Structure 1
């Protein structure tokens, strides 16, 4: 069953009951990372293995994850080479009351630092499950960012 989630703003990344934050440095340029995140929505399944389908919508994006979870999202920030953030408005994920994800992109000289924050709210069992899933979610993030780096580096050299 699809549920309407509580609307939250960008500050939710700081105030959410559950915050999972991961970061990695990659060689891709900040502008290429931002383009992949914000403009090449349909390509997400090629580098983020947890994503099975993604497409842009008038408000933001529709995303399907492995296991059948679906999100309808509204983009809240798309600052070139800096930040990409979206709120989940509707989902079939059990127990989720509110969710927001933010990608920060920062040049670090010869590399780009990519930080992903997943902020969520729900009943205690969901909060516990998300915290317990931190290692697996972190691994999925690192694998995705590595795959994105390979993809973007190959595009730039071709």
Structure 2
């Protein structure tokens, strides 16, 4: 059963009680990276294996994302700035413990490629925060793998 999360704004990315921040260098252009994040929502499972399905909602102002393990989240887009930033917040989720969530993807040109920084900002129950802190390294591996696969997909190289 889905339940609502506390609505948060873009500032939550910096002020959340729990923030996980990861970065990677990609060979793909900022334009291609932004399109993959913001415009090709259904393509997320092809490069981010934690995502099993994703679809845009409400004429592109929201998303529904399904994760491995059965978690389903409805989201609202908070920022969609081409080649700079893509951010969203969780509005509803079927998983316990989570109270508020926002994620931000910053896209920065670096030479002919892109620096991609992902911030996962959350608030939740004590057990939720403990589990996420404990799983920080695994989340980092998932991000690095996703960034490598995304870059391979966008550049046509073996990611």
Taking structure 2 as the reference length, what is the TM-score of the superposition?
0.95
How far residue 111 of structure 1 moved from its aligned partner, in angstroms, is 2.3
Structure 1 residue 108, shift from structure 2 partner: 1.2
Structure-1 residue corresponding to 2:114: 112
Gaps of 5+ in 2: none
How far does the alpha carbon of each residue in 1:32-59 deviate from its partner, in whole angstroms, 9 at most, with x for none?
0000000000000011100000000003
SS of match in other structure, 2:156: helix
Q: Aligned pair 1:49/2:49, yes or no? A: yes
User: Could you list the runs of 4 or more consecutive aligned residues of structure 1 that deviate by over 6 angstroms after TM superposition?
Assistant: none
For residues 55-113 of structure 1, the C-alpha deviation after alignment (integer angstroms, 9 at most, x for no partner) is 00003100000000111000010000000000000001211000000000001113210
**Distance in 2 (alpha carbons) for counterparts of 1:131 and 1:103:** 20
Please report the TM-score for the alignment, with normalisation by the length of structure 1: 0.96
Matched, 1:101 2:103: yes
Distance 1:139 1:110 in 2: 25
* Matched position secondary structure for 2:143: helix
Q: Are residues 1:34 and 2:37 paired?
A: no
Q: How many residues align?
A: 155
Q: Which runs of 5+ in 1 are unaligned?
A: none
